[in-house]
């Protein structure tokens, strides 16, 4: 095997001598792959290197005080806001996807409008979402800074993501299932909920995890609607900061640099965990097929 | 074919830029540490309380012919909205100069003497270090009992002791405070400069009155003032004077502390003393190189 | 029940409509008050003196985005080629998740990394303060990599293998076959990836604000400091009152219009492909 490999390599090298352009292209490809990976490694190594020495049990105390600068309330707020956003975005997103895949007729004007707007939504930068959230919830509805406003803003932001992944998952369900269900006398609705949707669950789940990843890392869209209070929000209508906003706030006054580094580590670990989870689910989907 | 050549070329440029960074990471900062090199001016964003106080105190803000106040900060000044970015920038660039709240100062940067006076709490009190600004809180007339009790605490000996402990300057206190045993909720919002000391005050107050909950919103002076006026919070914080237009809305300002503004440079910078005239010239862009400063 | 699904589907239309209405209703009057030309082409941004010209910020956003494309797009496409055609199976299982991890890292973390790692390096290289168009371009170039890589890779993979085999059969090397048959065939998909990347670069806020210098002037060189539209909003929104606040919302409107143009061209491209 090894010998074969060597032969292959030497053969390749010989051909590169004759083909300088190919050699150059090969080098460029390899080079950019190496650079991309090393940037990622540098980024992660740097955060871990700077942050881990600053991690201490104090940072995970239940109450935030200026002494411990705990990030626990921020972590809890992140969970609350994530749950709330999903609570709003999931039903709407899944229902829209069901309409688009199972009910809508081809070439329907409304459908193309929905598609264009969904694409628009997914392209809007988070700062514009933040401005909108502020104008709509804080000014127009006259709420003060609330996690509900923040969660609703994020729900709109992740809606296109959920719609798209659900749509793809639904399309991937073979028509055979539907025909089988109809053949056995099931109605449209029953077919959708009992047959199609369950088979699409892993795909939908993958979308949910992507959405969670986006929520966890979001700062600009939350700053204005949800505010920056450092406590666990004591109700939907009170303010609370998520972990990313917490890091932003810590950096703002420059008093808590070490804690900001530590927060970055926790954020990174969360993101890696979320990614690993989505990889796992993707693998499961693959196995099923 | 041509397209790909162009592609390869742009890529080569990009790649060389990237490898350039990768390779030179180990290089130490070359050159001497003496005062030379073009000055990197770092300033805060327009509207920031810190910037407002800074340009006013150093005369960087002046009236033009039409009688309007104009901020003459040089257009080439780097702008940041975060004290941490300001400090990291100055700590990492030996030619940089910036300014921060005295309460945020640490060893990563060097605070300059202004007109021979060190930036210390004592010098601000005695009046030799002149670069300071008030930390104000503002309330409306219909203040809740618990909020007014909290303000009593802030202005008391105990409250002002907290202020001093954190590197801010007390303007004298109004007697001792006795815990009232009240309960309720206070919402405070406003300047991110005042937030750190307000959080300390809140903790000290809650230690005495455990039934009170206080929510501190860190945003900015103007938002703080507006939300008090509109009833969004009980107490607003401002790291500047309360404007006339805000007073018209029925706000009652109270000064709870003074905060010095430290002019900061890199630790390697050999200069440690500067006249306020020089600071002004640097920030208005008249002096652009360290060698011009004797 | 169909009605319920239909209503849900209409929600995204409602959301876009709401965003448009609220943004335009709050931003456009200010643009009129300042004067459309004064606002868009004004060189001076001095809110304290009622001068609201966002031309430097528009230029800034364009420069930084263009820089990000120059840095990120060739890298991204080459990386996608690597993943699709050069990468051994075993390595792929590591590299692919790594690239998607790059997409998941919060932008504020990128910004901080840029501030403490890239900026000092640029200071050494250029002798200036290290913040500016080039620094922002490099960081944004890195940030758009995952987008460009992901879309380009699937576009390259979507090209029928017979193209590649045909080229090989005609005696082309592996590299030539990939670059001169597969890439041109996948060009529309790759373009879509680039457009998505542009959208991400132009809308990026929290990272850019830490490393661009944020001077409200048109930069005089690629090392010069620059302020983007997004940075302008997030830096001053907190303090702004009255016309200043509305001018910032107006900045948001301009940014939104930019994004709309990019999105519409993206959908147009997609429709042409299908």
A253, B193: Cβ pair inside 8 Å? yes
Structural domain that includes position B77:
36-132+261-292
| Rounded CA separation A147/A133 (Å) | 11
Q: What is the DSSP letter of A256?
A: -
Does one domain contain both B245 and B282?
Answer: no
| Rounded CA separation C101/A213 (Å) | 10
Does one domain contain both A65 and A202?
Answer: yes
Residue position matching structure tokens 């209070």: A229
* Six-digit token string for B190: 């406003």
Give the H or E element holding residue A128: helix A126-133
Dihedral pair phi/psi, residue B235, rounded to 5°: -125, 135
Query: Which residues in chain B are closer than 8 Å to C49, comparing Cβ atoms?
Result: 68-71
Query: Which residues in chain C are closer than 8 Å to B194, comparing Cβ atoms?
Result: none
| Rounded CA separation A226/A157 (Å) | 15
Does one domain contain both B205 and B223?
Answer: yes
DSSP string, B260-289: EEEEEE-TT-S--EE-HHHHHHHHTTS--B
| Touching partners of C (3+ C-beta pairs < 8 Å) | A, B
DSSP-derived pairing of the beta strands B212-219 and B252-265: unpaired
Q: Tell me whether residue B4 is in a domain.
A: no
B15, B218, B236: which to substitute to probe chain A, counting the most A Cβ within 10 Å?
A: B218
* Per-residue pLDDT at C177 exceeds 50: yes
CA distances for B100 relative to A66, B88, B172, B281, angstroms = 20, 12, 24, 18
Does one domain contain both B139 and B229?
Answer: yes
- Per-residue pLDDT of chain B (294 residues), as tens digits, is 444 444 444 444 444 444 444 333 333 333 344 456 788 888 888 777 788 888 888 888 877 777 677 788 888 888 888 888 888 888 888 888 999 888 788 888 888 888 888 888 888 888 888 888 888 889 888 888 888 889 888 888 888 888 888 878 887 777 788 877 788 888 888 888 888 888 888 888 888 888 888 888 877 777 788 888 877 788 999 887 787 777 888 888 888 888 888 899 988 888 888 888 888 888 888 888 888 876
Q: Which chain C residue lies closest to B49 (C-alpha atoms)?
A: C239
Strand, helix or coil at B139?
Answer: strand
**With a cut of 0.85, is the ipTM above it?**
no
DSSP string, A79-124: HHHHHHHHHHHHHHHHHHHHIIIIIPPTT-HHHHHHHHHHHHHHHS
| Rounded CA separation A23/A17 (Å) | 8
Structural domain that includes position A114:
58-288
| Rounded CA separation A222/A131 (Å) | 9
CATH code for position B69: 3.40.190.10
| Closest of A265, A281, A282, A230 to residue A66, by C-alpha | A230
Does one domain contain both A39 and A62?
Answer: no
A41, A66, A249: which to substitute to probe chain B, counting the most B Cβ within 10 Å?
A: A66
| Rounded CA separation B17/B20 (Å) | 5
| Closest of C71, C216, C60 to residue C137, by C-alpha | C71
- Per-residue pLDDT of chain A (289 residues), as tens digits, is 444 555 566 666 677 777 778 888 888 888 888 888 888 888 888 888 888 888 887 777 777 776 777 888 888 888 889 999 999 999 999 999 988 888 887 777 888 888 888 888 888 888 888 888 888 887 788 777 788 888 999 999 999 989 988 888 888 888 888 888 888 888 888 888 888 888 888 888 878 888 888 888 888 888 878 877 777 777 777 778 888 888 888 877 667 778 888 888 888 888 888 888 877 777 766 544 3
| pLDDT for A9 | 65
Does one domain contain both B63 and B89?
Answer: yes
* Neighbouring C-beta atoms of residue B106, cutoff 10 Å: 12
| pLDDT for A288 | 44
B45, C46: Cβ pair inside 8 Å? no
* Contact with chain B for residue A252, Cβ under 8 A: yes
The predicted-structure confidence for B5-54, as pLDDT tens digits, reads as follows: 444 444 444 444 444 443 333 333 333 444 567 888 888 887 777 888 88
The residues, any chain, with a CB within 8 Å of residue B87's CB and separated by 6 or more, are: A254, B98, B100, B104, B106, B108, B109, B264
Does one domain contain both A134 and A33?
Answer: no
Does one domain contain both B163 and B251?
Answer: yes
| Rounded CA separation A167/B257 (Å) | 58
Q: Give the residues across from B185 on adjacent strands.
A: B213
Dihedral pair phi/psi, residue A100, rounded to 5°: -65, -40
CA distances for C202 relative to A66, B292, C140, C188, angstroms = 36, 39, 9, 21
Query: Which residues in chain B are closer than 8 Å to C179, comparing Cβ atoms?
Result: 4
Query: Which residues in chain B are closer than 8 Å to C125, comparing Cβ atoms?
Result: 20-21, 24
DSSP string, C195-243: HHHHHHHHH--TTHHHHSB--SS--SSTTS-B--HHHHHHHHTTT--HH
Does one domain contain both B160 and B269?
Answer: no
| Rounded CA separation A223/A228 (Å) | 7
Q: What is the DSSP letter of B103?
A: G
Q: Provide the shortest C-alpha distance from residue A235 to chain C (in Å).
A: 25
| pLDDT for A86 | 92
Instruction: Indicate the residue of B4, B11, B80 with minimum beta-carbon distance to C214.
Output: B80
Question: Considering its fold, how many domains does chain A have in total?
Answer: 2
* Per-residue pLDDT at C254 exceeds 80: yes
| Touching partners of A (3+ C-beta pairs < 8 Å) | B, C
Q: Tell me which residues of chain A, numbers 118 to 157, contact chain C at a CB-CB cutoff of 8 Å.
A: 118-121, 123-129, 131-132, 135-136, 140, 156
Q: What is the DSSP letter of C181?
A: I
CATH number (2.60.40.1240, 1.10.3720.10, 2.60.40.10, 3.50.50.60) of C2-273 reads 1.10.3720.10
Q: How many residues does chain B have?
A: 294
Q: Provide the shortest C-alpha distance from residue B240 to chain C (in Å).
A: 12
Give the H or E element holding residue B86: helix B83-92
* Contact with chain C for residue A15, Cβ under 8 A: yes
Query: Which residues in chain C are closer than 8 Å to B95, comparing Cβ atoms?
Result: 129
Does one domain contain both A66 and A154?
Answer: yes
Does one domain contain both B108 and B174?
Answer: no
Instruction: Indicate the residue of B83, B199, B232 with minimum beta-carbon distance to A66.
Output: B199
| Rounded CA separation A169/A184 (Å) | 23
Does one domain contain both A242 and A167?
Answer: yes
Q: Tell me whether residue B110 is in a domain.
A: yes
The predicted-structure confidence for B188-215, as pLDDT tens digits, reads as follows: 888 888 888 888 888 888 888 888 888 8
Residue position matching structure tokens 């609607």: A225
Q: Tell me whether residue B148 is in a domain.
A: yes
| Touching partners of B (3+ C-beta pairs < 8 Å) | A, C
| Rounded CA separation A108/B71 (Å) | 57
C12, A40: Cβ pair inside 8 Å? no
| pLDDT for A153 | 92
Does one domain contain both A27 and A87?
Answer: no
Dihedral pair phi/psi, residue C226, rounded to 5°: -150, 145
Does one domain contain both A26 and A98?
Answer: no
Does one domain contain both B156 and B272?
Answer: no
User: Is residue C215 within 8 Å of residue B75, measured between CB atoms?
Assistant: yes
CATH code for position A142: 1.10.3720.10
| pLDDT for B221 | 79
Provide the residue ranges of all domains of chain C, joining segments of one domain with +: 2-273
pTM score? 0.82
% of chain C beyond a pLDDT of 90? 12
Q: Tell me whether residue B21 is in a domain.
A: no
Does one domain contain both A136 and A273?
Answer: yes
* Six-digit token string for C33: 């008050």
Please compute Rg for chain C using Cα positions. Answer: 22
User: Is residue A153 within 8 Å of residue A133, measured between CB atoms?
Assistant: yes
* Contact with chain B for residue A228, Cβ under 8 A: yes
Question: Considering its fold, how many domains does chain B have in total?
Answer: 2
DSSP-derived pairing of the beta strands B96-101 and B69-71: unpaired
| Closest of C124, B21, B13 to residue A38, by C-alpha | B21
Does one domain contain both B65 and B174?
Answer: no
């Amino acid at each position: 095997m090894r010998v074969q490999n060597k032969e292959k390599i030497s053969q390749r090298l010989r051909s590169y001598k004759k083909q300088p352009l190919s050699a150059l292209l090969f080098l460029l490809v390899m080079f950019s792959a190496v650079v991309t990976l090393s940037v990622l490694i540098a980024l992660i190594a740097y955060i871990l290197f700077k942050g881990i020495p600053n991690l201490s049990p104090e940072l995970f105390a239940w109450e935030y005080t200026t002494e411990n600068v705990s990030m626990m309330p921020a972590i809890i707020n992140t969970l609350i806001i994530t749950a709330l956003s999903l609570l709003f975005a999931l039903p709407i997103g899944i229902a829209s996807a069901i309409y688009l895949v199972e009910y809508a007729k081809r070439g329907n004007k409304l459908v193309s409008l929905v598609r264009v707007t969904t694409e628009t939504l997914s392209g809007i930068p988070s700062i514009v979402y933040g401005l909108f959230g502020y104008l709509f919830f804080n000014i127009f509805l006259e709420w003060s800074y609330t996690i509900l406003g923040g969660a609703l803003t994020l729900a709109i932001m992740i809606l296109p993501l959920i719609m798209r992944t659900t749509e793809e998952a639904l399309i991937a369900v073979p028509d055979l299932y539907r025909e089988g269900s109809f053949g056995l006398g099931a109605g449209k609705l029953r077919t959708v909920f009992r047959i199609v949707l369950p088979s699409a669950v892993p795909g939908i789940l993958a979308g949910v995890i992507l959405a969670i990843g986006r929520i966890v890392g979001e700062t600009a869209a939350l700053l204005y609607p949800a505010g920056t209070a450092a406590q666990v929000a004591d109700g939907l209508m009170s303010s609370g900061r998520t972990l990313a906003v917490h890091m932003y706030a810590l950096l703002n006054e420059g008093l808590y640099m070490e804690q900001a580094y530590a927060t970055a580590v926790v954020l990174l670990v969360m993101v890696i965990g979320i990614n690993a989870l989505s990889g796992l689910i993707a693998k499961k989907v693959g196995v099923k097929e | 074919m041509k397209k790909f050549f162009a592609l390869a070329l742009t890529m080569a440029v990009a790649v060389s830029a990237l490898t350039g960074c990768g390779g030179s990471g180990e290089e130490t900062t070359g050159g001497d540490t003496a005062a030379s090199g073009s000055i990197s001016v770092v300033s805060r964003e327009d509207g920031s309380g810190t910037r407002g106080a800074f340009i006013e105190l150093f005369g960087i803000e002046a009236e033009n012919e039409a009688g309007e106040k104009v901020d003459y900060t040089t257009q080439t000044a780097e702008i940041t909205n975060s004290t941490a970015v300001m400090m990291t920038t100055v700590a990492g660039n030996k030619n940089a100069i910036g300014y921060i709240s005295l309460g945020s100062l640490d060893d990563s940067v060097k605070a300059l003497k202004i007109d021979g006076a060190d930036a210390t709490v004592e010098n601000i009190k005695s009046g030799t270090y002149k670069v300071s600004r008030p930390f104000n809180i503002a309330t409306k007339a219909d203040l809740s009992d618990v909020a007014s009790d909290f303000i009593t605490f802030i202005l008391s000996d105990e409250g002002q002791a907290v202020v001093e402990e954190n590197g801010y300057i007390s303007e004298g206190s109004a007697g001792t405070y006795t815990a009232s045993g009240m309960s309720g909720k206070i919402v405070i919002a406003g300047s991110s400069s005042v937030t750190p000391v307000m959080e300390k005050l809140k903790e000290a107050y809650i230690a005495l009155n455990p039934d009170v909950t206080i929510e501190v919103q860190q945003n900015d002076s103007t938002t703080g003032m507006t939300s008090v006026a509109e009833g969004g919070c009980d107490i607003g914080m401002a790291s500047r004077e309360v404007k006339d237009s805000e007073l018209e809305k029925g706000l009652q300002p109270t000064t709870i502390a003074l905060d010095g503004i430290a002019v900061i440079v890199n630790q390697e910078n050999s200069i440690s003393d500067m006249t306020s005239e020089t600071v002004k010239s640097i920030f208005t862009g008249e002096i652009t190189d360290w060698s011009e400063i004797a | 029940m169909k009605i319920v699904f239909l209503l849900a589907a209409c929600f995204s239309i409602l959301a876009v409509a709401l965003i448009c209405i609220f943004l335009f209703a709050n931003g456009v009057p200010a643009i009129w008050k300042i004067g459309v030309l004064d606002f868009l082409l004004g060189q001076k941004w001095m809110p304290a003196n009622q001068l609201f010209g966002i031309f430097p910020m528009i230029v800034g956003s364009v420069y930084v985005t263009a820089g990000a494309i120059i840095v990120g797009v060739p890298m991204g496409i080459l990386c996608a080629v690597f993943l699709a055609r050069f990468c051994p199976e075993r390595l792929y299982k590591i590299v692919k998740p790594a690239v998607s991890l790059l997409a998941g890292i919060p932008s504020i973390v990128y910004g901080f990394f840029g501030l403490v790692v890239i900026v000092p390096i640029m200071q050494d290289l250029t002798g200036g303060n290290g913040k500016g168009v080039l620094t922002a371009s490099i960081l944004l170039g890195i940030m758009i990599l995952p987008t460009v890589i992901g879309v380009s890779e699937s576009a390259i993979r979507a090209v029928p293998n017979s193209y590649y085999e045909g080229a090989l059969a005609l005696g082309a090397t592996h590299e030539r076959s990939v670059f001169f048959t597969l890439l041109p065939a996948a060009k529309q998909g790759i373009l879509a990836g680039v457009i998505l990347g542009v959208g991400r670069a132009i809308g990026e806020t929290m990272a850019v604000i830490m490393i661009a210098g944020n001077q409200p002037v048109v930069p005089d060189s690629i090392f010069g400091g620059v302020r983007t539209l997004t940075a302008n909003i997030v830096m001053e929104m907190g303090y702004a009152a009255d016309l200043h606040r509305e001018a910032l919302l107006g900045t948001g409107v301009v940014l939104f219009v930019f994004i709309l143009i990019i999105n519409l061209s993206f959908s147009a491209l997609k429709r042409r492909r299908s």
